[in-house]
């Protein structure tokens, strides 16, 4: 069987890469991963061995979204870290029969430099942003190279667009990161409406986002009956959560955040999929998690923060990517105007999510068009295996 190396550069990309790696391992292939940023935790959880030790940075690999983020990456040594990752790739490249890229231009360049056969899943790019995808230089030229054996896109619109631009087949087979939520059994609807809160996963942005979400929940009218669930990553433990919430006037007791005059928030750890499945409305400050919510045909309400990732600019781009079932209130990020508008919009959407058949149908259509159906990982792994035959 073949020896395959996964190259990815980001939290969401690592998740997709890990899911693809598991499918390829089940086909009998020897798979390793080289995450270009971050710890590669998704690979480690999936039992996929890493090529060398990894390191986490506070920007989570998305410092390019702002000048502040770029300067932070330079100060923390992330640029030098990336260069060392590339040197490791060059050192061990001949061990592998195929390089599998999951990400954007950086791993594409790295794979081209390796001079090995390459398959590419362009999960970071979509034609939904502008109508016509403008790949950053030199991505388009490299993808036309004969060493790039196959190119897979994240949606059908992009597949059609890039097939014309690159003058080669670009295929949409679905998104592996959707498989874990789409293949789970859908729970029966609850008699009580539920709101799911997704504050993101990167620290310290996670703490900043969570404080905004707490301020938002304080503004929800107590007369409206609903449950609120917070999907929280393990890296923010109870002690850290307790200190943060107390600074905001909240208290943690028996896995519930409480504040006088406000509805309680159920803290759910290790239950991200369940929170998504049970929610009638998702309020989010995240990247891949919001995409998964849209893929589950859930209406999404954004709450832009201060970044480095989930800023107003990022949120606006996300709406172009994911379509009209992603909503956002007006106002400057973090302002009382924006929070009040978000609270009002949340109540309106919660009602529509349960009673408006037109919105429900629109959510289902956008889910299929923009994220695809379940089984994307299996279909992509089978296509990659055919390249190795």
Domain residue limits, the chain: 3-179+374-388, 194-370
Q: Looking at the structure, give the CATH architecture of the domain made up of residues 3-179+374-388.
A: 3-Layer(aba) Sandwich (3.40)
Contacts 24+ apart (CB under 8 A), 156-160: 156/369, 156/372, 157/126, 157/127, 157/128, 157/369, 158/122, 158/125, 158/126, 158/127, 158/128, 158/133, 160/127
What is the mean predicted confidence (pLDDT) over 165-189? 89
| Residue 262, both tokens | 């406000």
| Residue 225, both tokens | 């009956």
pLDDT of residue 54: 58
- For the segment 48-64, what is each residue's pLDDT rounded down to a tens digit? 999 976 545 544 444 44
Name which CATH class applies to 194-370: alpha beta
Confidence band (pLDDT; 50, 70, 90) for 135?
very high
Question: Cβ contacts of residue 80 below 8 Å, gap of 6+?
Answer: none
What is the mean predicted confidence (pLDDT) over 335-359? 97
Give percent of the chain above pLDDT 70: 93
Mean residue pLDDT of the chain comes to: 91
- For the segment 232-277, what is each residue's pLDDT rounded down to a tens digit? 988 889 999 999 999 999 999 999 999 998 999 999 998 889 999 9
How far, rounded to the nearest angstrom, does the alpha carbon of residue 96 sit from its chain's CA centroid? 28
pLDDT exceeds 70 at position 70:
no
Confidence band (pLDDT; 50, 70, 90) for 92?
very high
* Cα–Cα dist 140/136, whole Å: 7
Confidence band (pLDDT; 50, 70, 90) for 76?
very low
Confidence band (pLDDT; 50, 70, 90) for 75?
very low
pLDDT exceeds 70 at position 196:
yes
The reply to whether domains 3-179+374-388 and 194-370 share a CATH topology is yes
CA proximity to 155, closest of 385, 373, 384: 373
Residue, of 255 and 37, whose pLDDT is higher: 255
pLDDT of residue 61: 47
pLDDT exceeds 80 at position 348:
yes
pLDDT exceeds 90 at position 41:
no
pTM for the whole thing?
A: 0.87
CA distance readout (Å), 197 to 183, 272, 330: 22, 10, 19
């Amino acid at each position: 069987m073949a020896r395959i190396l996964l190259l990815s550069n980001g939290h969401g990309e690592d998740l997709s890469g890990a899911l693809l790696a598991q499918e390829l391992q089940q086909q009998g292939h020897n798979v390793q991963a080289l995450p270009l940023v971050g710890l590669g935790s998704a690979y480690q959880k999936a039992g996929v061995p890493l090529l060398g030790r990894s390191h986490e940075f506070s920007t989570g690999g998305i410092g390019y979204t702002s000048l502040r983020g770029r300067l932070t990456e330079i100060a923390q040594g992330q640029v030098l870290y990336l260069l060392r990752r590339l040197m490791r790739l060059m050192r061990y490249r001949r061990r592998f029969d195929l390089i599998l890229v999951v990400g954007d231009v950086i791993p594409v360049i790295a794979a081209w430099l390796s001079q090995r056969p390459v398959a590419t899943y362009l999960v970071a790019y979509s034609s939904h942003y502008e109508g016509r995808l403008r790949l950053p230089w030199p991505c388009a030229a490299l993808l036309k190279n004969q060493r790039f054996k196959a190119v897979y896109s994240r949606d059908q619109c992009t597949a059609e667009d890039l097939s014309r631009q690159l003058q080669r087949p670009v295929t949409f087979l679905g998104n592996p990161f959707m498989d874990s939520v789409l293949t789970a059994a859908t729970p029966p609807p609850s008699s009580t409406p539920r709101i799911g809160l997704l504050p993101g996963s990167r620290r310290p942005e996670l703490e900043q986002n969570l404080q905004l979400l707490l301020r938002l929940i304080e503004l929800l009218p107590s007369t409206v009956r609903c449950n609120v669930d917070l999907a929280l990553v393990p890296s923010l433990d109870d002690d850290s959560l307790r200190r943060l919430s107390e600074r905001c006037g909240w208290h943690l007791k028996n896995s519930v955040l409480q504040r006088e005059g406000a509805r309680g928030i159920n803290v759910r750890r290790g239950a991200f999929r369940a929170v998504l499945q049970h929610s009638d409305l998702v309020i989010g400050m995240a990247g891949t998690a919001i995409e998964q919510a849209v893929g589950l045909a859930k209406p999404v309400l954004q709450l832009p923060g201060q970044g480095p990732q989930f800023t107003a600019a990022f949120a606006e781009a996300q709406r172009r990517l994911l379509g009209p079932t992603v909503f956002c209130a007006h106002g400057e990020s973090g302002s009382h105007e924006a929070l009040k508008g978000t609270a009002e919009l949340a109540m309106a959407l919660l009602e529509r999510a349960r009673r408006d058949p037109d919105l429900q149908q629109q959510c289902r259509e956008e889910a299929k068009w923009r994220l695809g159906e379940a089984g994307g990982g299996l279909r992509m792994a089978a296509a990659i295996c055919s390249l190795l035959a």
